[in-house]
Structure 1
């Protein structure tokens, strides 16, 4: 029996591969893609620059960053927060000025209403004293105005040629920005003082003169000498920042809870599991698939 290809046109069955291929070419339906080993970063690479760290630091959650990259990220976020805070303060000052102007306008209208009432009372008393003579002539001389801006209508009718007074214009209010800086990976609050310096023990090979990024075996455990790879669980010891394997932690460190290099006392908080590198296995890495929503073709 001959070997069939993935596009077997002689078959009457619409295969799964042909269905996915046609859906991708048509532009309809959701696209799903699973990452492989090359699509996920290595364990010793920065989560921002995706390159091997020159000055590695780690967060409380075991997320590795290059010190230069994470400090640049924090500074950019602080500048953005300060810019938003200035816009918010400018908006607050504008609202206070508008409230003060409304208060002055209310006082002015109250004063005008009082003056109109006083003039009406004075004119009524004067008319009573004169006996109403000459009232007909004065009423006939003052004609009714055809303008739509008299008798207080200028306050109720908006000016369509002024953008701030158009009926459909609504300014969006800026919310007060949060001054907390969050981690770009975990989304938890991030502070510079919580960053811990990491010390990787490099593999010394005099014959290998390539760059650090091109080496496959870059670091090792300082206690056991095992090569650190993506499939080897590692942990960072907080007091010194050394990276050791989890096997070393379980078999050697947790017996006496002593630092294997300095002999100092350790606690459970001093052992920080390092984020695993890219292996392509779902049991190791959490996010190994991506999805793009596209319109659905309906019959």
Structure 2
């Protein structure tokens, strides 16, 4: 007796096996990324082109100076426009609030005059309770319940104290112009260079590759292999006579992956809730051109 007959709930309602679900395209599909799917370490994270006058963020993201400066400038312009709109809105709210307070003050003055000089009890006409209805708390200004509400003012002050700043386009963390660090790569001598421009570690003289783990020394701006830093620089706590603390070392981010791949992974994975061959699944990415497998094998 086969597995389908054991799990059958009725004709045409048999539960598919794992192999059949894979045929339908359900589940998680993994794909090994090649060199073309990774951004080289010497490329700008914004323009995706070779670095020109490179700079680095405190989180280890590399940018071309012109690209990141233009991005930060656009962010400042956007924040300024937003702040201008918020200021105009606050002014309108203040004008409306002042008019409302003036109306309430006039009503309180009228109620005070009626209570003390009108010969009758105070009424709460401003509360909408009907004319002639006496107010029990009229004139008892020292009670906490009769004090003006300060919650709105506190919320306004808290919102004003929270000031938005420019952020890193990749990490989303706070980034200012003065936080950028100049980067200095050591070029490979022309006699040893290939067709493309190459860089090397100034300590070990090893050429950087796509999978090299690199660190940046903040005081000098030099880029070294992580292994060279651990063996030559870290024990001495200095490089070329410049003191180097552990807080001065920034690990550079690995090349960002392109397409649908997750960042900094050699293998990309994507889950499909609907079969890839059903026509309803999202087929964007490197596996988008794969042939349909939405059929059971006989």
- Structure 2: how far apart are the matches of 1:72 and 1:294? 40
Determine the structure 2 residue equivalent to 1:263.
241
On the 8 A contact 2:187/2:199 being kept in 1, the answer is: yes
* Segment drifting more, 240-249 vs 262-271: 262-271
Kept in 1: contact 2:33–2:268 (CA 8 A): no
189 and 34 in structure 1: CA distance in 2 versus 1, 3 angstrom threshold = farther
1:220 aligns to what? 200
For the aligned residue pairs, the C-alpha RMSD in angstroms reads 4.1
Q: Distance in 1 between matches of 2:48 and 2:208?
A: 18
Q: Deviations over 1:133-172 (max 9, x none)?
A: xxxxxxxxxxxxxxxxxxx9xx9xxxxxxxxxxxxxxxxx
Q: How far apart are 1:49 and its partner, in Å? A: 1.4
1:238-277 maps to which residues of 2 (within 5 A)? 238-259=218-239, 262-277=240-255
Distance 2:184 2:236 in 1: 23
Aligned residues: 217
Match of 2:23 among 18, 22, 29: 18
Of residues 248, 260, 285, the one that matches 2:264 is 285
1:23-172, aligned counterparts within 5 Å? 36-37=33-34, 38-106=36-104
Partner of 2:172: 187
Structure 2 gaps of 5+ residues are 1-16, 114-118, 120-124, 129-158, 281-298
Q: Deviations over 1:35-79 (max 9, x none)?
A: 723223111111111211111111112111111111111111111
Deviation at 1:255, TM superposition (A): 2.4
Query: Alignment partner for residue 190 of structure 2, among 188, 191, 205?
Result: 205
Residues 8-39 of structure 1: CA deviation (Å, up to 9, x unaligned) = xxxx995455311xx6xxxxxx8867572322
- The higher radius of gyration belongs to 1
TM-score (normalised: structure 2): 0.59
Cα distance in 1 for partners of 2:205, 2:221 equals: 17
> Equivalents in 2 of 1:55, 1:285: separation in Å?
24
Q: Deviations over 1:191-249 (max 9, x none)?
A: 21121100111223369795xxxx2x621112221110121111112122111111211
Cα contact 2:56–2:182 (8 A) shared by 1: yes
Contact 1:220-1:228 at 8 Å conserved across structures? yes
Structure 1 residue runs without a partner (length 5+):
1-11, 24-29, 116-120, 122-151, 156-174
Most deviating of 39-48 and 49-58: 39-48
C-alpha contact 2:37 2:257 (8 A) present in aligned 1: no
Shift of 1:185: 2.0
Q: 1:112 to 1:287 in 2, by over 3 A?
A: farther
For 2:88 and 2:257, locate their aligned partners in 1 and report how far apart those are by CA, in whole Å.
50
For 2:238, what is the secondary structure of its paired residue?
coil
